[in-house]
Structure 1
Amino acid sequence: MMTAKKRARLRIGSDVATGWARNLELGNPYAKSVLRALGEYVDGEGMCWVGIPQLAMDCDLSQDTVRRRLAWLEDIGAIGRTGQWVDENGRRNGEGRGKRTTDLVRLLVDADTDAIEARAAGRVVDETPVNSTAISPSWQQGLNSGAEVVRTPPALGQPSQLCDQLISEPEPENPPKSPSGGFPEDRKTIEEGEPTEFAAAFESYVGHEVMRRDLALEEFRLLTPDDRAWCVHAVPLYMAKLRELKQRRPMNFHLWSRTRGFREFAAPGVASAKPAAPQRRFVQGDELKGLAVATQIAERREPRVIRELDLGEGVWTQLPPQVDLTAMAAFAGVDREAWQVVDLGTPQFAAWRDRLALWIGAEPQAERIFLEPYDQNVHGVSSSNPNFRLRKSKQGFRVPAPWPPRRDGTWQVAGEGE
């Protein structure tokens, strides 16, 4: 018996989404521009995974303007938004696990177009005012209907504006007026609403003449009052540091504010804590002999000994006295060829490497140790010679004992555990 072939589900393409957005009469050119830009990012289910910075770039608008238009589009039922997170495994989820990321946006192309346009025009739909928070469009069930409105928990495609910390912030209580004049807000209004500290910080920032003031102001407004004062205080310090490092191009002001770059400098009223300079001391005696043994192991050389008129021979250092280094003096003058070899990658090698770094104040390098004597007839001929053979070798340290001395200067005896 032949079974009827299941009809394929209609998928939403970018051309369908942008055409739907283009035909909507919203009376809000910026919101319509954002909606059409969203249509360029839809998948087959009408879902968009695009961040506000990208939308702002596509529409040539500020991020704050895009946020407000997204909230307005959600309020009139043109889109739905759901908060998204990324967990420690990099998986996106809507359950609040991990770090907050870009919202999931769905274009509600199946919703009632007349109802969307009515809300956009401020008319009442189904006896529910446009600016009422009871309106909660859902792509799964269409617009809410009925005289009685019941608020339900948000589901996928039916986001709630009560969600905390949405990446796309909710619209203010009263929807904004349709922008006009080519700018999201009048420049004079922006300047009047600037925090008092902003001008001083921005105008003393090197290269601010070619940076976007609106983006800088937007990020500065998001700072707490304490961070704003910190930012103003840190700008000249940051500029001085750039001059010291001979760097001419600082980070853009809005990015520096967003990443809290000013916190790399001391907060206002807090003196930068400078660590006290370590005291120099003159190493002599058994400790100097132990240092000579350690230097031979780590760098295959003798330490650079100097002579002071009132002190004698020794080495100046800023490292504190080390009892275990003094214990190495027992092997001063012993032929290194008689010492054993600890191979690179073994626990003994790691123990010696870490201890040598403490003794000499530098990272020691493994030594190339040959396992056979040099033979001119096989090791000294050209590689094209049939008698040529590489001289066998390995990497490691030549050391006087399997393990370094303990920090108290004692040594591990034979048969004792590591």
Structure 2
Amino acid sequence: MTAKRRARRIASDEATAWARNLELGNPYAKSVLRALGEYVDGDGLCWVGIPSLAGDCDLSQDTVRRRLAWLEEIGAIGRTPQWLDENGRRNGDGRGKRTTDLIRLLVDADIDAIEARAAGRNVDENQVNSRSISPSWQQGLNSGADDVSPRPALGQPSQCSQGLDSFEPEPEDPPKSPSGGFPVDRETIEESEPVEFAAAFEGYVGHEVMRRDLALEEFRLLTQEDRVWCGHAVPLYMAKLRELKQRRPMNFHLWVRTRGFREFPAPGAAPAKAAPPQRRFVQGAELKGLAVAMQIAERRELRIIRDQDLGEGVWTQLGPQADLSAMAAFAGADREAWQVVDLGTPQFAAWRDRLALWTGAEPQAERIFLEPFDPNVHGISSSNPNFRLRKSKQGFRVPAPWPPRRDGTWQVAGESE
């Protein structure tokens, strides 16, 4: 009986040379593939995240995602979805939270077939070496010689593929936000958008990580005159940020909602000298409500100043906010007794947007533990067999399911939002 052949080991320099010699006609994809070669282990596997690849290639994370899907479709790589369970163990069974995919470089696949698919040519599978490795994530780099199970076709994408065209043109369109709830077809997106929206949104610094759907919803509420005004003001606002050496503007949908573009001259208007901002001193119930909002959004106390003439309070450029005054009813309350709205729910989104309006910054979800800390299982080394992760979830701890209405009233039980 013939002994089973030992699996071949793949070195990083071999994987990098293989990637360098492929003729793909897609510079971004080749850059990503060569970067993967730096992370490969002896089995041809890569454990690397999208942010690391984006930094290595000087590309956006969205671009890296699309190029990985394209490389998988042409048969250069295979991807396996991975999850982390509640004990921090990686698995491919869908247990827990999604994490970085396992990526396999298919260095033993037929190079001519990969290059043909990259060029958009049809591949005659009968002329391809029958032992070539399939891009499907199930097919290992070191499959045994006696493996006769049916294999997917070389061009067949795995369940990780996003179905992109194998001959994607370069250079690409500016990357869009991964979220936003829009169809993949760009023509369908543009048909549903005002003509002024795309230029305004894509000219806004940081739009790649902002919610396009929220931005579009607010933009549609503008009059035609304000839409033109908004698009005209975006480059002026970006130039002002550079002048002030500020790198993080407020989210685009909040800037549109608060009509921030009106701080700049309208198209065709003569530039006017900027008037000093109108400030007011927040005190009383509105100040107490702002302190409650700061505890929810940033889990810290509000920094209150003391004016020699006016007393204690904070300065703001926003007008009086009745909904913020309504939050004063919960000043001094026990936050641990409040309910939790989970990340991803409509209630969470409503509180997030309202807190951003009150505090002027996008709030981050809080990590809320679902069980008390037990030093015997949570405070020991992770290598100890008794170690267990403390159960938790992401969300806001809030005094009511929904924030107050803008007029300061609250939703009553049984009333739809």
Same fold by TM (over 0.5)?
no
Q: TM-score range by the shorter chain?
A: 0.3 to 0.5
Larger radius of gyration between Structure 1 and Structure 2: 1
**What TM-score results when the alignment is normalised by the length of structure 2?**
0.42
